[in-house]
């Protein structure tokens, strides 16, 4: 009888933990990473160390738009204000993962100029601000 009560208590604790976890998920902030396929009609996008161009690139290859089966992407976490390049705005996306059509997802963190990624569409769609930088 003691073993049965112990198992019942363990199940009850598990159920409470599951319900509490579900409640926490439903009240969590509504921000999520967003896959952004490169779609700027005339540019590839470099991965920079900062939202300031003079800080330089991280050293990974640029990402480029292309036909759907040869299109690069990023996992955009947020945006910051930075340098304006060719009057395309001052939006930069922060990422920690990039997708190259020839090798798949890779871990590379950095900043990409929004206008060269998707003409700032994810920014206008409500991608969250990073909370640092400008």
Measure the CA–CA gap between 31 and 107, rounded to whole angstroms.
20
Give me 72's structure tokens: 């690069």
Q: How high is the pLDDT of residue 44? A: 95
**pLDDT tens-digit series, residues 18-69:** 434 433 333 333 457 999 999 988 899 999 999 999 999 999 999 999 887 7
Q: How many CB atoms lie within 10 A of CB 76?
A: 24
Average pLDDT in the 89-112 region? 96
Give residue-wise pLDDT tens across range 56-90.
999 999 999 988 778 999 999 999 999 999 999 99
Distance (Å, rounded) from C-alpha 113 to C-alpha 36?
Answer: 12
């Amino acid at each position: 009888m003691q073993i049965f009560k112990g198992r019942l208590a363990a199940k009850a604790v598990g159920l409470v933990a599951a319900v509490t976890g579900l409640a926490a998920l439903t009240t969590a902030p509504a921000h999520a990473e967003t896959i952004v396929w490169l779609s700027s009609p005339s540019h590839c996008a470099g991965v920079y160390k900062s939202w300031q161009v003079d800080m330089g690139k991280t050293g990974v290859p640029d990402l480029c738009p292309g036909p759907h089966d040869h299109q690069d992407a990023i996992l955009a976490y947020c945006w910051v204000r930075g340098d304006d390049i060719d009057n395309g705005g001052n939006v930069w996306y922060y990422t920690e993962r990039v997708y190259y059509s020839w090798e798949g997802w890779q871990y590379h963190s950095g900043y990409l100029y929004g206008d060269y990624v998707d003409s700032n569409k994810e920014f206008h769609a409500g991608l969250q601000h990073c909370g640092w930088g400008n």
